[in-house]
Every structure is written in C-alpha cells, then in structure tokens.
Amino acid sequence: MAKELKELTPRSESYSQWYQDLVIKADLAESSAVRGCMVIKPYGYAIWEKMQRILDDMFKETGHMNAYFPLFIPKSFLSREADHVEGFAKECAVVTHYRLKTNPEGGVVVDPEARLEEELIVRPTSETIIWNTYKNWIQSHRDLPILVNQWANVVRWEMRTRLFLRTAEFLWQEGHTAHATCEEAVAEARQMLEVYATFAEKYMAMPVTKGVKTASERFAGAVDTYTIEALMQDGKALQSGTSHFLGQNFAKAFDVTFTNKEGERELVWATSWGVSTRLMGALIMSHSDDNGLVLPPKLAPFQVVIVPIYRSQEQLDLISAKVKEIMAKLKARGISVKYDDADNRKPGWKFAEYELKGVPVRLAMGGRDLENGTIEVARRDTLTKETMPLDGIDAHIETLLNDIQENIFKKAFDYREAHTVTVDTYDEFKEKIEEGGFILAHWDGTAETEALIKNETKATIRCIPLNGDQTPGVCMVTGKPSRQRVLFARAY
C-alpha cells in the first residue's frame, strides 16, 4: 500500500499528470479551498526558502536593499500607464468593501455601508505604487540610484492554474530601481539578468538561454524585457525570470523627476525584475524522474539522509552511535543531514519516501556494515548505490554532492543541446515543433509574422538570444531580411 501511495504516473504516459502527482506526493504544494491559490507545504517551502536566501544574498552583493510596499493599489494608479493597465486590468482581485456584518439569520454578509470610495486592487506587480512612492524620495541626482527589492505575494486572477507554474496568488521578489541615466538603467537590467542566469545554472543546475523579448512578449509598460528561458523535459520552454528596462514610462506616469548636476529637471530612468515560486516548477521539471523529485544538492532542504537497518534495539543503539559520529563530521563540512530512526516505518518505505522527495544522497547502515566498518551510499540522480568504507566517508560525500550538482546540470544541458535545432524553412519548422524543444530560426522582425507562426504552430519567440550566432539571414516565412536567428518553442 505504501508503495502504491507513492507511485507517480509515468512521464511517458502523461507529463502533466506526472507533474501534478509529483508536486502532491512529494509534499511540495497542494490546491487550497480558494480557487487558484495554493498551499505551499513545509517541504516545498523549505526549498523555496533556500532559493530566497541565495537570491537575497546575490541582490545584496549587487548593492540592493529590501523594503516593503502596500499590498493594495488604488484603482486609479493602474490606469496611469496605458500599457500597464492593458496588461493587468483583466486579472485583478478587487477590494470594494472593508467590513462584514452579521446577518440576522446567521452567517455574515458584506456590509453595504462599508464601501470604499475608491476600489483597491490587490497588487499584480508593484510598479505603480512604488513609483508613486519614489516621487517623494527623489529630488536630486544625489538621491539616485535607488536600488530596492521587495519579497512579496502578488495576485493575478488566472483562469487556468497549475501548482507553482500558474497560480492566482504567488510569491516572488520584485526589484525596482531608479537611475539618473538611460545607460545606467540598461546596465542594471542586464546585471540582474546575469544574476538570474547565474542562480539558475549554478544553484538550480538548470541551463538557461538569455535574451530579449519581442515587443509582443514584453512586460506591460517596459521598453525592453530581458528573459532567461529554460527547456523542460517535455520539450516545452519555461520563462524563468525577467528583467525589464522601463525607460521613463513610469517616471512620466507618476511625474518623477530629479535635478541633474547642471541644475535641470529630468525624468528618472527605471528597471524592474522578478522571479517567483514558478521557479519551483522549473526546478521540478528540469531534473525529476518517474521515481520522484531530483534535487540539486545546493537547494535540497537536507542533502543527506541516513537510515538505520536493525533487528534489535541493541543493534540500533550501536548503529546510532556510529551515525552520530558520521553526522558530526558531515555537519563540520557544512553538509545538512537528517537521521531517520523513526520506528513506525520500515527501511523500504523510507527509501521510497526519500527517493520521492529527491534527497541527493541516502546512507544506510545495517548489521553487516557495523561489522565491516562500511556504509551503503545511494545517489538519487543516478539511482546507483555502493558500499563504502566508513573511513573518509565525509570527504567522499562532499565530493559526491559536488558531482551530483554537476551531473544533473550536465544532464539538463545535454538534453537541451540534443533538443535545440536550427531550421531554415517554415515546413521544417512545422515538422520540428511537433517534436518539442528549442528551434533557432530566422524571423523578419514583424509582429505579423510572429502572430502568424503562433497561430499556426502554437510556438512563440521565447527570446532574441543575447549570445550565440548573430549572423543575419532571411525569414523562414516571408523571406525578408532577419538580423539573427531567434529562439522559438512552445511554452508554459
């Protein structure tokens, strides 16, 4: 029964059902009583906390500080920036009242007398309320730059939701910076893209392609949107983080100017950038398999689990004494480790449980190990195991964790390489897009051609890559000139 409970739908049968099974059964998240809002469970949240801590350190190293702005945005603020309201008005949670009252028949109803003069929007993103605030913070060039980040919840009333990937409420960070010059703002937006790419590759072990969005895929209110795009195991792309150069759009909308060194008033330049709990979905889909989650050691809530295999309390005591020594050595190397000596579950159940939860290394110690001075070492990524001498086990595991981190990156990298093709004709494009993966092709730079391709193939331009081949060519659809190949895929 325990085994069945833990079984996932195989990816080959239904990738989306496998994903759903995995998120639920590995105790990462679940749906709540509120449509589209999820509960992030302790094990899932522990992974998110690791991500937060690392990103937060990276933001601080690049000179940013955290702050906190209101959850609510006056309705009128949204309409100040034309593209922005266009982008967000259709999916806003709107607060209209500030009181309930008890119904004479029991139950509670909204008190019609407690209607707000102006409705409040639950923030879908905070540019408007923040730029309205910055107006008071910025007078002179000496007040610039402002380098602020916020960790917060936001709400976008999505109709079709999926745990982590698309939820009505999600957690994220949003950086909002203000600069004296265009160049400085562009440099900031690009710097934060680099931070995201480094985080994705170094910590999530997830290779990403850096690029610029086309006009139709831009953030509502941005001049340029930079993105990191990752390829999931089912051949679909996942936009994993974006950094926006906002130009002077929000400064104009909220009348934010500064006195430059020459004593003249100028509009302020802006960026914003964010990653969200969507990264959890990206992490899960980059590495996991039919047995469950596969976690990169750098983001695992605990990197090593130790399971004792014993026949008597006496034997358990002997094993536990040995385990205690091993744990002390591992902790001294900064390795996080859990000892599961719970007596209400069999070792086989525990093995399946930690496999499902993606713990990178599992150690098991039994009676024979005690006699021989050995321990069984199993790695989650390759599902292989070997018996090792206890002597030097801590150094071995430190190396092993690094190997696992590298190996799962390499696996994801090789997958992406194997699923990235270059095509020159639209017929070939239509054929290849059915196989999934990234396609590099020439495009004439128009929104019309982009829309046509999307309508006919469901593929979108994920980005215009910043690196790689920049050779000009001709559009695969219209034959018109193309500056460089762009990256197409079907996407989440």
Which residues make up the interface to a copy of itself (CB under 8 A)?
30, 32-34, 37-42, 45-46, 49, 65-79, 85-86, 89-102, 106-108, 110, 119-122, 129, 132-133, 136, 142, 148, 152-153, 155, 157, 169, 171, 344
Comparing C-alpha atoms, which of 311, 312, 300, 330 is closest to residue 390?
A: 330
Distance CA 302, CA 292 (A): 16
Comparing C-alpha atoms, which of 441, 440, 448, 422 is closest to residue 215?
A: 448
Residue 315, both tokens: 């034997």
Residue 293, both tokens: 């989650």
CB of 119 to a copy of itself, least distance (A): 6
Supply φ then ψ for residue 226, to 5 degrees: -95, 150
Residue 408, both tokens: 């799962």
Pick 171 or 476: Cβ nearer a copy of itself: 171
Pick 158 or 403: Cβ nearer a copy of itself: 158
CB of 429 to a copy of itself, least distance (A): 36
Whole-number Cα distances in Å, 141 to 104, 127, 261, 334: 60, 21, 7, 44
CB of 30 to a copy of itself, least distance (A): 8
**451 alpha-carbon distance from chain centroid:** 27
Torsion 150-152-158-163 (CA) sign: positive
What are the b/e assignments for 85-101, b being 16+ CB within 10 Å?
bebbeeebeeeeeeeee
CB of 61 to a copy of itself, least distance (A): 15
CB of 153 to a copy of itself, least distance (A): 6
Please give the sequence-ordered ranges of beta strands (E in DSSP) within 111-182, or none if there are none: 115-122, 146-155, 169-179
CB of 71 to a copy of itself, least distance (A): 5
Pick 42 or 472: Cβ nearer a copy of itself: 42
Pick 39 or 395: Cβ nearer a copy of itself: 39
**76 alpha-carbon distance from chain centroid:** 31
Comparing C-alpha atoms, which of 125, 76, 118, 127 is closest to residue 97?
A: 118
CB of 43 to a copy of itself, least distance (A): 8
Pick 300 or 440: Cβ nearer a copy of itself: 300
Pick 73 or 463: Cβ nearer a copy of itself: 73
Pick 299 or 404: Cβ nearer a copy of itself: 299
